[in-house]
């Protein structure tokens, strides 16, 4: 028995299945084996069985006692086919597959990132690309960029006057906001808000040197200065952000008004202490036109437009018509022959009273200087304007100056020639 056990540890043991098949075959055909083992076949069989030698040797097959097998080979076969015992090592995930998946995701993301065109197409897009604005020149000047949109241009393919005026108003409010003085009012400082005070414009002078076109980026600088004892002056300088060319210059005068009583007010010392440190000692960008605006009525006006009413969208947060809307109403009565052949070169507006949402207005225009004697010929044209209530109260008085359009020279005033349309 001991010899048999020792032998079985080093020599292959025929499987019971082959023994059973051989016995069965021999009994079935009269003891004749089902196959004849040739030397070549025996060699192949030995090479095949050698792969199972170590496993079977370790299995320690039970020996035979008196020709009888001890134990069952079925249990051995079951143990050979069972999975290895669960340990900490073989329960860990396949890290190689996880790392491969992560690498694939990163490579795909990098490819998509490289396909995006993040490079600016123009150098002017590098400066304030989001148009948020910034304080420059030692904190005295506020600068903001604006891109001219397709819906902001008019029939001449240039930015409308209302668009440029809105840029001026937007930078004024953002200036107050960026220095931390914007309260709940429309441009009111905290001390103004406590006293129910708001800013109102009394005079605006604008010079349009050249109009930007669709896609241009304009750079607007604005600052404030003192104007007398109870006023403030605000200037704007508009440039082409790419070339630095001056496009528009503007100067305005502002006073305080009580929001409840609608009466003008002096600047309180507390408010002056808030804004005084931001005043710049500099002359106005536009020289004051000291000429008195003549009286204009239905007898002296050549063009009258009646029935103008503000819409709800024309009101600002102070519940009166925004001052930019007045510009559009004034131009409503401008003669069509001037609008077709000339462009606005400058204007002076004097604001007399508020316009509320229930107001009905009239726009009156009179041509006082036709340049060369006829508006169809090149020459400067000057007009007088009046925007008044139907009851007779003056709202805005103004003077405009118009220059001829140069539609055949694209570089003269930002125009596009007809053949390029």
320 is catalytic: yes
Cβ atoms within 10 Å of 67's Cβ, excluding its own: 5
Helix H or strand E encompassing 44: helix 39-50
Tokens 């020709």 found at: 67
**Residue 355 is a catalytic residue:** yes
Residues 6+ apart with CB under 8 A from 215: 147, 148
141 neighbors 221 (Cβ within 8 angstroms): yes
Give the CA radius of gyration of the chain: 47
* DSSP state letters, 104-141: HHHHHHHHHHHHS--S-SSGGGGSSTT---EEETTTTE
Two tokens at 62? 């039970």
How many whole angstroms separate alpha carbon 231 and alpha carbon 203? 11
**Cβ atoms within 10 Å of 343's Cβ, excluding its own:** 21
Cβ atoms of residues 227 and 204 within 8 Å: no
Active site annotation includes 145: no
Report how far apart, in Å, the C-alpha atoms of 377 and of each of 105, 338, 339 are. Answer: 69, 10, 13
DSSP designation for 278 = G
Calpha distance 335→371 (Å, rounded): 15
- Cβ within 8 Å of residue 329, ≥6 positions away: 308, 361, 363, 387
> How far apart are alpha carbons 58 and 60 in whole angstroms?
5
Please tell me which residue in 175, 320, 342, 385 is annotated as part of the active site: 320
Distance separating alpha carbons of residues 212 and 192, to the nearest angstrom: 36
Helices (H), 221-333: 269-275, 323-332
Q: Round to whole Å and give the CA distance between 74 and 81.
A: 11
Q: Which residues lie across from 349 on neighbouring strands?
A: 204, 398
Other C-beta atoms closer than 10 Å to the C-beta of 316 total 15
Q: Which positions are catalytic?
A: 318, 320, 355
């Amino acid at each position: 028995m001991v010899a048999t056990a020792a032998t079985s540890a080093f020599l292959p043991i025929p499987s019971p299945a082959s023994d059973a098949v051989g016995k069965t075959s021999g009994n079935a055909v009269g003891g004749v084996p089902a196959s004849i083992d040739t030397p070549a076949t025996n060699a192949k069989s030995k090479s095949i069985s050698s792969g199972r030698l170590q496993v079977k040797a370790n299995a320690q097959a039970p020996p035979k006692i008196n020709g009888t097998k001890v134990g069952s080979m079925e249990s051995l076969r079951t143990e050979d086919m069972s999975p290895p015992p669960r340990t900490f090592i073989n329960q860990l995930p396949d890290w190689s597959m996880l790392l491969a998946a992560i690498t694939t995701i990163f490579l795909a993301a990098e490819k998509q990132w490289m396909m995006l065109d993040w490079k600016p197409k123009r150098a002017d897009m590098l400066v304030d690309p989001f148009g948020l604005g910034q304080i420059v020149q030692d904190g005295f000047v506020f600068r903001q960029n604006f891109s001219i949109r397709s819906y902001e241009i008019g029939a001449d393919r240039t930015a409308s006057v209302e668009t440029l005026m809105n840029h001026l108003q937007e930078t004024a409010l953002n200036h107050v906001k960026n220095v931390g003085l914007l309260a709940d009012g429309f441009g009111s400082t905290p001390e103004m808000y406590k006293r129910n005070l708001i800013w109102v414009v009394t005079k605006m002078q604008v010079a349009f040197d050249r109009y930007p076109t669709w896609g241009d980026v304009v750079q607007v600088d604005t600052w404030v200065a003192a104007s007398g004892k109870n006023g403030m002056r605000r200037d704007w300088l508009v440039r082409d952000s790419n070339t630095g060319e001056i496009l528009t210059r503007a100067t305005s005068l502002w006073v305080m008004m009580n929001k409840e009583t609608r009466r003008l007010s002096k600047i309180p010392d507390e408010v002056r202490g808030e804004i005084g440190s931001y005043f710049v000692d500099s002359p106005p960008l536009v020289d004051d036109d000291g000429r008195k605006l003549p009286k204009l009525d239905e007898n002296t006006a050549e063009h009258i437009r009646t029935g103008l009413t503000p819409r709800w969208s024309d009101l600002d947060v102070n519940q009166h018509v925004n001052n930019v809307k007045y510009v559009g109403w004034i131009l409503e009565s401008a003669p069509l022959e001037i609008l077709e052949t000339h462009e606005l070169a400058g204007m002076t507006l004097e604001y007399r009273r508020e316009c509320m949402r229930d107001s009905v207005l009239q726009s009156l225009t009179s041509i006082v200087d036709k340049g060369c004697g006829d508006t169809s010929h090149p020459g400067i044209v000057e007009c007088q304007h009046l925007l008044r209530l139907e009851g007779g109260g003056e709202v805005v008085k103004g003077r405009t100056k118009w220059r001829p359009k140069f539609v055949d020279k694209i570089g003269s005033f930002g125009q596009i020639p007809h053949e390029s349309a």
